[in-house]
């Protein structure tokens, strides 16, 4: 009986005192600005009013005015109208059909700026001022990690999910 207890004691001691190899190291955190490694990931946004015309080749290039990281995503919304005093925002690209072709409000972006432009097959010089003058856009820059599973077509959902309370007006 003493032998069995001794073997049992030694077995338990061996089982609980053993230590395996250390696992692989984890991934490094995101690089931030000096002194801010691993800081809070924030979203930035601004609102801009644009007039498209032949003189600006129906495009405008606007610098962000804040730091945009390589994996950030830029979303652009156009003020499409109002309903009961509420602004209606649409994610662009956004297209409109005319008898002579299509007008598309579109954009592209770099880490430094966003370009808003008219695209399509219609003759831009024949468009009325309601399609080309004083068009209001909201530009939202969010970390790529914050886009997954988010309804990006809904500006209010994007603002809420990224804790964006206000926009910088650039006009």
Predicted confidence (pLDDT) per residue in 29-86, tens digit: 555 544 444 444 556 889 999 999 999 999 999 999 888 888 888 999 999 999 999 9
Q: Which domain does 85 fall in, by range?
A: 44-169
Is 29 among the domain residues? no
Question: Count of domains in the chain?
Answer: 1
Residue 51 included in any domain: yes
Q: Is residue 30 part of a domain?
A: no
Closest CA to 93 of 113, 76, 110: 76
User: Residue 145 falls within a domain, yes or no?
Assistant: yes
Q: State the chain's mean pLDDT as an integer.
A: 80
130-141 tens-digit pLDDT: 999 999 999 998
Beta bridge partners of 137: 48, 78
Q: Is residue 32 part of a domain?
A: no
- Residue 70 resides in a domain: yes
Confidence band, pLDDT 50/70/90 cuts, at residue 10: low
Q: Which long-range contacts (CB under 8 A, 24 or more apart) does 55-60 make?
A: 58/117, 58/118, 58/124, 58/132, 59/115, 59/116, 59/117, 59/118, 60/115, 60/116, 60/117
pLDDT single digits (tens) 120-171: 999 999 999 999 999 999 999 887 766 666 666 666 666 666 666 655 666 5
pLDDT at 69: 86
pLDDT score of 39: 46
In a domain, 12, yes or no: no
Domain with residue 101: its CATH number is 2.60.40
Would 82 be classed as within a structural domain? yes
The C-alpha atoms of residue 103 and residue 112 are separated, in whole angstroms, by 26
């Amino acid at each position: 009986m003493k032998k069995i207890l001794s073997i049992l004691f030694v077995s338990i001691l061996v089982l609980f005192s053993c230590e395996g190899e250390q696992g692989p190291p984890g991934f490094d955190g995101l690089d931030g600005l000096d002194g801010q490694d691993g800081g809070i990931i924030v979203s930035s946004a601004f609102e801009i009013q644009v007039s498209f015309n032949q003189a600006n080749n129906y495009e405008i290039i606007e610098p962000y005015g804040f730091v945009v990281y390589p994996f950030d995503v830029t979303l652009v919304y156009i003020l499409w109208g109002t309903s009961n005093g509420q602004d209606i925002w649409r994610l662009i690209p956004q297209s409109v059909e005319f008898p002579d072709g299509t007008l598309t409000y579109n954009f592209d972006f770099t880490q430094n700026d966003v370009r808003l432009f008219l695209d399509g097959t219609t003759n831009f010089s024949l468009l009325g001022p309601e399609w080309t003058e004083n068009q209001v856009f909201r530009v939202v820059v969010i970390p790529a990690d914050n886009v997954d599973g988010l309804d990006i077509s809904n500006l209010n959902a994007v603002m809420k999910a990224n804790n964006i309370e206000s926009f910088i007006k650039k006009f």
